[in-house]
Amino acid sequence: MDELGFNKLFAGFIMAGLLMLAGAKLADVMVPHSDLAENAYQIEVPEASAVADAAPVDKGPEPIMAMLADADIAAGEKLSKKCTACHVFNAGGAAKVGPALWNIVNAAKGAADGFSYSAAMAGFGGAWDYAALNAFLAKPKAYMPGTKMNFVGLKKPSDRANMIAWLRQQADAPVALPSAEDIAAETAANGTDS
C-alpha cells in the first residue's frame, strides 16, 4: 500500500471516531435525562437490629441420645463403610489417614497413640462423649474448625444415632448408654421437646 492509501485508511479511522463522538452528543441532546427525586421502585430494607433479632440461633445438631437405645447397629456398621478409607475400627488396628477408632466413645479427643493430629484436634480438649460425637459427625468442620477430616457429615439424626451406637460396640467394654438425666440435659440444651 502506498502513502496515499495509508492516509486514506488513517482518515477513515479518524472520521469513524468523530462520527461516534458526534452521534453520542446528538443522542444526549435528542434524549434528555434527569435524575429522579426518588427511586421509582422502593425496596424496604429492615434495620440491622431487626435482622439480628430475626436470625435463627444454631443450637447444634438434633439430639440423638434418646435414639441410641433403639438404634440399628447393623445400619451403623453399614454407614461405617464410608469411613474405612481413612479409619480402622478393630482392636489394635494401625492408624491410616485418620486414627484408629477402637474404644473411641468417651476417649480423649486427639489422644490416640500413633497418629499425628491437626492442631485443631490436638488442642480441642474434652472427650468423645455422645454429644461431642453427635456434633462432630453432623458437621465436622463446623464443630471443629481447622480439622483435617474431609467428611461432609451425616445429616440425618437417625444415621448419627446408628453410627454412634455401632461405634459404642467397637470397644473392649462398651460404655453405658445415656441415662434419662443425660437425655433430658441434651434435650434442654437444644431447646427441643422429646
Q: How far apart are CA 93 and CA 101, in angstroms?
A: 8
Cell numbers linked to 64: 440423638
For residue range 90-134, what is the model confidence (pLDDT) as tens digits?
Answer: 988 888 999 999 999 999 998 888 888 888 888 888 999 999 999
Give the pLDDT of residue 49: 60
Asked if residue 174 lies in contact with residue 71, where contact means CB atoms within 8 angstroms, the answer is no
Count other Cβ atoms within 10 Å, centred on residue 86. 16
Q: How far apart are CA 162 and CA 167, in angstroms?
A: 9
How many Cα atoms occupy the beta-carbon half-sphere of 42 within 13 Å? 5
- Unique residue bearing C-alpha cell 492442631: 119
Which SS3 state, helix, strand or coil, does residue 138 take? helix
- Report the distance separating Cα 29 and Cα 112, nearest Å: 79
And the C-alpha cell for 185?
440435659
Q: What pTM was computed for the model? A: 0.66
Tell me the per-residue pLDDT of 144-158, one tens digit each, with 9 for 90 and over: 998 888 888 999 999
Residue among 75, 135, 127, 134 at smallest CA distance from 103: 127
The single residue listed with the C-alpha cell 478409607 is 85
Answer yes or no: are the C-beta atoms of 88 and 100 closer than 8 Å: yes
Name the amino acid, one letter, at 110. Answer: G
Determine the Cα–Cα distance for residues 181 and 134; give it in Å rounded to an integer. 17
Give the tens place of pLDDT for each residue, 5-38. Answer: 889 999 999 999 999 999 999 988 888 777 777 7
Cβ atoms of 72 and 157 closer than 8 Å: no
Q: Backbone phi, then psi, for 42, in 5-degree steps?
A: -85, 135
pLDDT bin (cut points 50, 70, 90) of residue 57 is low
